[in-house]
Amino acid sequence: EVQLVESGGGLVQAGGSLRLSCAASGFTIDDYAIGWFRQAPGKEREGVSFIKSSDGSTYYEDIGKGRFTISSDNAKNSVYLQMNSLKPEDTAVYYCAADKEILKLWVQPDYWGQGNQVTVSS
**pLDDT score at 53:** 87
Cα separation, 28 vs 81, in Å, equals 18
The secondary structure element, H or E, covering residue 112 is: strand 111-112
pLDDT in tens, 89-122: 999 999 999 999 999 999 999 999 999 999 999 9
pLDDT in tens, 21-71: 999 999 999 999 999 999 999 999 999 999 998 888 999 999 999 999 999
Cα separation, 51 vs 38, in Å, equals 16
**pLDDT score at 82:** 98
